[in-house]
Amino acid sequence: MDMKQIIAGRIADAAAACFEGCGLCAKDVAGMLEIPPEKKMGDYALPCFRMSKTLHKAPQMIAASLAERCAGEEIDHVEVVGGYLNVFVARGCMARGLIEAVLSQPGRWGASDIGKGKTVCLDYSSINIAKRFHIGHLSTTMIGHSLKRIYDFNGYTTVGINHLGDWGTQFGKMICAYKKWGNREDVERGGVQAMVDLYVRFHQEAERDPALEDEGRAWFKKIEDGDPEALEIFSWFKEVTLKDTQRVYDMLGVTFDSYAGESFYNDKMQPVVDELREKNLLTKSQGAEVVMLDDYGMPPAIVLRSDGATLYITRDLAAAYYRHNTYHFDKCLYVVAYQQNLHFRQLFKIIELMGNDWYKGMEHVSFGMVSYEGRALSTREGYIVYLEDLLNKAVEKAREIIEEKSPNLPNKDEVARQVGVGAVVYFDLHNDRNKDIDFRWERALNFDGETGPYVQYTHARCCSVLRKAPDLSDVEPDYGVLCDDEACSVLLLISRFPEIVRKAMDANEPSMITRHTTSLAQAYNKYYFEHRIMEEGDPAGTLARLNLTRAVADVIRTGLYLIGVEAPERM
């Protein structure tokens, strides 16, 4: 029961009755409906200015004509203000239909099957082998994970891909360092940090002995040529890295369907290069082979260096072809920072120039940078915040707050994990993804305002109310008690949730769901403080208010799930 769609249908019926042949359908009206800035202006408003051009009537006259014919049990009354038709919904009717609809499909309010039969590939996280997982990877990981859930929720088949950074001369240098100064036991025990230490030592030693650089390149050549020893060590490095990072992924609840990284496409690039040559898209430039993109406002894209070496774009072209041929995707999303805008513009244009219309389904889902407590992260300056450390610290801080506020809470460690990790994820997904983020503890772990703990606490509050509820199984709810402004605000936000989910998917913008879920939590808390949920002598009204609480808990839980945050039942 989507109230906006119902109202749009009523107005479309009125338009058909008033203006013969106007051709205005419910979908058109829904696209024009607005949410008024003030409650006294109605629950929905239709600006009639655009319609005046096709109907050749003044907007106020159109609104007045629609007002005379706009009727239905869902509409209490309408008002004409200037060129606007302001619609006030029938609150009791809305409450019954909406709450029953939500409770009839737990966890599925807002879901759809619009993606049935379609596939979306999502390239996200894309960690680097032999490097620790730092806070800079948080956005790509959680935006991608959230989008995977959102597309799943709308019926799509989704393929989550962790495009590992596992190719380049640095791996030859690491093998060289391992062979000279490392041993298996130290790397197994120290994990990625042990490999990082070896890599740092390599560069320190190479400053004194430049010949080491040649040894490092020689080991990478062995990897390229399939040398058994080089490949065994290289594969082992990947295993150790993935074992380390899996701890972080487990904390975040993030999973993937494929870990095919750059090395996977080493033997798949030549056919793509051959096709570029056959189609006369490659041009020699200072010894390198490039695709000229001047006509499209872009610099040339280097596909092969002068020594014949491949680059990121060569591997990304091979990966795009592989994904299309393997998964037959309708969409392929790349969740990568906005600094790579040019790279993806070049990639998509090359695929288009090669004559593939499936480039239309490819999209760069960009995002901003992350700083920490007011400081930009810098590997060069040694200012790096590792994600595992950040999450553990968040859990520890959440545990301290719980100990202070709810010392008798059962499962304190589990709740601290849910709240701490949830606070970090929520903080990352609260703002538009292209905005830069400055992570600050006092904001992330605040139990007031627009934070993860605040929304989680609201869910726990709903669960607490429901645990204390009496048995009213033989009572018929009286939804007429949900006609006050506070209840109406809650109901309208629940009603708009399916639309928000679809908009978030269309824009690849999880923050829409984050903010809407926060608004619902705020509206329910206002209702909770203004009204008694359980009223002695009024079982029918009590049940209606409890059912509203059930619906709120369900929609908050769904909203949090879609952004990758858990919903504790006690806090």
Give per-residue pLDDT as tens, 56-70: 899 999 999 999 998
pLDDT (tens digit per residue) in 93-110: 788 989 999 999 999 999
Give the pLDDT of residue 144. Answer: 98
**90 pLDDT exceeds 90?**
no
Beta strand segments in 463-525, E? none
pLDDT (tens digit per residue) in 460-469: 999 999 999 9
d(CA 382, CA 193): 14
pLDDT (tens digit per residue) in 245-260: 999 999 999 999 999 9
Give the pLDDT of residue 140. Answer: 96
Give the pLDDT of residue 495. Answer: 92
pTM: predicted TM-score of the whole model, two decimal places: 0.88
**493 pLDDT exceeds 70?**
yes
Of all residues in the chain, the percent with pLDDT exceeding 70 is 99
Give the pLDDT of residue 241. Answer: 92
d(CA 89, CA 36): 13
Nearest CA to 188 out of 222, 137, 233, 249 is that of 233
Pair 475, 398: CB distance under 8 Å: no
**481 pLDDT exceeds 90?**
yes
Give the pLDDT of residue 385. Answer: 85
Give the pLDDT of residue 382. Answer: 59
Give the pLDDT of residue 53. Answer: 85
What is the pLDDT averaged over residues 466-480? Answer: 95
Pair 553, 545: CB distance under 8 Å: no
Confidence of residue 529 (pLDDT cuts 50, 70, 90): very high
Which 3 state secondary structure label does DSSP give 259?
coil
Give the pLDDT of residue 278. Answer: 96
Confidence of residue 22 (pLDDT cuts 50, 70, 90): confident
pLDDT (tens digit per residue) in 305-327: 888 888 999 999 999 999 999 99
d(CA 220, CA 103): 59
**374 pLDDT exceeds 90?**
no
Helix 539-562 vs helix 452-467: angle between axes, to the nearest 10 degrees?
150
- Please give, one letter per residue, the 3-state secondary structure of 56-104: CCCHHHHHHHHHHHCCCCCEEEEEEECCEEEEEECHHHHHHHHHHHHHC
Give the other-Cβ count within 10 Å of 374's Cβ. 8
Confidence of residue 348 (pLDDT cuts 50, 70, 90): very high
Give the pLDDT of residue 553. Answer: 98
Q: What is the DSSP string of 6-31?
A: HHHHHHHHHHHHHSTT----HHHHHH
Which 3 state secondary structure label does DSSP give 53?
helix
Give the other-Cβ count within 10 Å of 287's Cβ. 10
**220 pLDDT exceeds 80?**
yes
What is the pLDDT averaged over residues 332-344? Answer: 96
pLDDT (tens digit per residue) in 384-410: 788 998 999 999 999 999 999 999 999
- Amino acid identity of residue 38, one-letter, is E
Confidence of residue 378 (pLDDT cuts 50, 70, 90): low
Confidence of residue 1 (pLDDT cuts 50, 70, 90): low
**270 pLDDT exceeds 80?**
yes
Where is pLDDT greater, at 234 or 448?
Answer: 234
Give the phi and the psi of residue 372 in degrees, each rounded to 5: -130, 115
Residue 94, both tokens? 């809305």
Give the pLDDT of residue 444. Answer: 80
- Which residues, in sequence order, are bridge partners of residue 291? 301
Hey, what domains does the chain have and what are their CATH numbers? 3-89 (3.30.1360.70), 168-255 (no CATH), 387-562 (1.10.730.10)
Q: What DSSP designation does 111 have?
A: -
- Rounded mean pLDDT of the chain? 93
Pair 468, 417: CB distance under 8 Å: no
Confidence of residue 379 (pLDDT cuts 50, 70, 90): low
- Amino acid identity of residue 63, one-letter, is A
Give the other-Cβ count within 10 Å of 548's Cβ. 27
